[in-house]
């Protein structure tokens, strides 16, 4: 891609929480943030970040541009499965600032996750992508080598 930027992919720190909040609150389709203040969002995300940082069962990476701006982030959770030869990495979040999309940042974040998954001896990586999302519509995950499992159904049980 000729529109790729130089970005540094690194482990997120608590100092990145406000940038992550800014990215999340900038996602227009995530309407849950409309009912809380930015401070409430920052407190909640900060708490969840601390939970992720408490042990090595989670990884959060940020994509930082040369000017220090966080352009995107990903969160992955390392799950042991009794039925698999190795753990599974579940990519729960991959969000790129609207203005930074299409520049290879998401691909670089996923490559970092893939490298860590191999180091951990994972059998596979998995993620959920809603079909109405722009990333699904443009086939982002298929373009970077992920396979959709048409035989699987994804179920959730809302607890709130």
Q: Around Cβ 107, how many Cβ atoms within 10 Å? A: 15
**Structurally, how many domains does the chain consist of?**
1
In a domain, residue 70? The reply is yes
In a domain, residue 159? The reply is no
In a domain, residue 152? The reply is no
In a domain, residue 109? The reply is yes
> Which domain range does residue 136 map to?
7-143
In a domain, residue 160? The reply is no
Q: According to the model, what pLDDT value does residue 142 have?
A: 93
In a domain, residue 149? The reply is no
In a domain, residue 11? The reply is yes
CATH at 87: 3.40.630.30
Q: According to the model, what pLDDT value does residue 31 have?
A: 80
| DSSP β-bridge partners for residue 88 | 79, 124
Dump the DSSP string for 87-142: -EEEEEEEEE-GGGTTSSHHHHHHHHHHHHHHHTT-SEEEE---TTSHHHHTTHHH
Q: Return the structure tokens found at 13.
A: 């720190």
In a domain, residue 81? The reply is yes
- pLDDT (tens, 9 = 90+) of the chain, 160 residues, equals 445 568 999 999 999 999 999 999 998 777 878 888 999 999 999 999 999 999 999 999 999 999 999 999 999 999 999 999 999 999 999 999 999 999 999 999 999 999 999 999 999 999 999 888 889 899 999 999 999 998 998 888 889 7
Classify each residue of 12-41 as buried b or exposed e, where b means 16 or more C-beta atoms within 10 Å of its C-beta. beeebbebbbebbbeeeeeeebeeeeeeeb
């Amino acid at each position: 891609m000729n529109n790729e930027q130089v970005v540094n992919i690194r482990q997120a720190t608590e100092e990145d929480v406000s940038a992550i909040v800014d990215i999340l609150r900038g996602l227009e389709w995530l309407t849950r943030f409309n009912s809380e203040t930015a401070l409430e969002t920052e407190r909640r995300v900060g708490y969840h970040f601390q939970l992720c940082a408490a042990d090595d069962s989670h990884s959060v990476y940020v994509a930082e541009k040369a000017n220090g701006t966080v352009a995107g982030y990903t969160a992955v959770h390392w799950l042991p499965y009794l039925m698999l030869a190795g753990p599974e990495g579940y990519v729960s979040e991959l969000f790129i600032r609207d203005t930074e999309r299409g520049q290879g940042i998401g691909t670089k974040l996923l490559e970092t996750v893939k490298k860590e998954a191999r180091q951990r001896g994972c059998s596979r990586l998995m993620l959920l992508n809603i079909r109405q999302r722009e990333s699904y519509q443009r086939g982002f995950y298929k373009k970077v080598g992920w396979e959709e499992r048409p035989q699987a159904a994804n179920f959730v049980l809302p607890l709130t």
